[in-house]
Amino acid sequence: MDGDDETSDPMMDEIYANGGGDKGDKRSRRAIMSGDQLDVEAYAALYSGRTKIMRLLFIADKMKNAATQLEALRMAYDEIKKGENTQLFREVVQKIDGRLGPNYGVDTAWCDAVDRRAEQKKEKLENELNAYRTNLIKESIRMGFNDFGDFYYAHGQLGEAFKSYVRTRDYCTTSKHILHMCMSAILVSIEMGQFPHVTSYVSKAEQAPDALEPIPIAKLRCAAGLANLEAKKYKLAARKFLETGPELGSHYNDVIAPQDVATYGGLCALATFDRAELKSKVIDNSNFRNFLELVPEVRELINDFYSSHYASCLEYLGNLKANLLLDIHLHDHVETLYDQIRHKALIQYTHPFVSVDLNMMANAFKTTVAGLEKELEALITDNQIQARIDSHNKILYARHADQRNATFQRVLETGREFDRDVRSMLLRSNLIKHEYNIRALRKL
């Protein structure tokens, strides 16, 4: 693990410290491009509908930069005025608090006009639904409840929207109707944060195979991935995102963007997959590669991790972190995923060696020797690394099992098992020979 004395290039030193390559390693080094502040406008353009507004408001709440915060609120204000949710509009105006000038204040005339149209539309929908119920026309009743669901969803009444969509179930006559009901229920459940409902309706939708085409399947995989992510089942979440087909495109941007599939799936896989799985299910996955191409930073950090270039991998992760903390679904899981990825890197780094210089290892992981010792102590205590630390000389020694002794022990155990099996067979043959069981039965 010692570096070449003639090498003065710090980049080459880093490669040696990571345990990869030799002096002739021509691996190209890439510029870190993800450290820039989030481009709110470009980010918002990936989404549509309610999720676009909620993501902008989330950024405004979390962002400390006043200019970016106001930009997010301005875009949220403009987006809300394209719809009919007056309650959310008033909340955004309150958050803006006059900081964007008179053009972004309370538009009372707009609110009154929208509310008035809403009352008229609701009354019309109720009359139509009552007429359909009187005539017992199943398809019309289904469409009536569905229209009510759309109406409530547009006005931000998510609980009522969910109830209306679910009520269509009794009037569904085809697999496509059931799929439409499930997809609507999933959309509202994600917005409400009710992820157990998401899991339930994904399962119901998957039971209607006749209606499942590539795009609905991709949407269901994404919804299941989000539900597993929220439940902190990161390995299951990774599998669902990795199974998402490239047909998804922008067809589900009212929930998730293709870039999110790459980011969520890549980080969850990195945190939970072993080396073989990472190679076969992520790096060699041609479908998932289409998503990774949209987020080069995630693609490169995965490749760096697999190639044992941990310094570069951790550098990418560090630069991505600020923006990931602004993601409405991922923010709660960033610290956990990062810790798991780092622990895996530490374990993977130490595994091939009998001894490791902690100074060199600390340099590879961009940390202090004291900090590295604490991390390694925790992993050793948790039995994830079989090693001991020489604190004086700052060396980690692996505890490799005595292969000779272990082989003898296995041979002895095999011999004992063979002896036990032979004795059992002899006993059984003697019992049969002397008809012991038959005699016992005759006495009874």
Alpha-carbon distance values, 381 to 368, 386, 395, 401 (Å)? 20, 9, 17, 18
Residue that is written with structure tokens 């490669």 in the block = 15
Q: Which residues contact 47 (CB under 8 A, 6 or more apart)?
A: 55, 253, 254, 257
> For the sheet containing 387-390, what is the strand order?
355-357, 395-398, 387-390
Q: Which residues pair with 388 in a beta bridge?
A: 397
The reported pLDDT for the residue numbered 26 is 37
Beta pairing class for 387-390 and 355-357: unpaired
Domain positions in the chain:
403-443
Which residue from 68, 80, 8, 6 is spatially nearest to 41, judged by alpha carbons?
68
Report pTM: 0.77
User: What's the DSSP call for residue 220?
Assistant: H
Q: pLDDT band at residue 438, thresholds of 50, 70 and 90? A: low
4 has a pLDDT exceeding 50: no
More confident residue, 191 or 441: 191
Please give the average per-residue pLDDT across 74-81, as a whole number.
92
The reported pLDDT for the residue numbered 111 is 92
Alpha-carbon distance values, 179 to 142, 176, 184, 198, 209 (Å)? 13, 5, 9, 13, 9
3 state SS of 357:
strand
**Are the CB atoms for 152 and 118 separated by under 8 Å?**
no
Tell me how far apart the alpha carbons of residues 229 and 317 are, in angstroms, rounded to a whole number: 19
61 has a pLDDT exceeding 60: yes
**Straight-line distance from the first to the last Cα atom of the chain, in angstroms, rounded to the nearest whole number:** 78
Least confident of 56-70, 203-217, 266-280, 327-341: 203-217
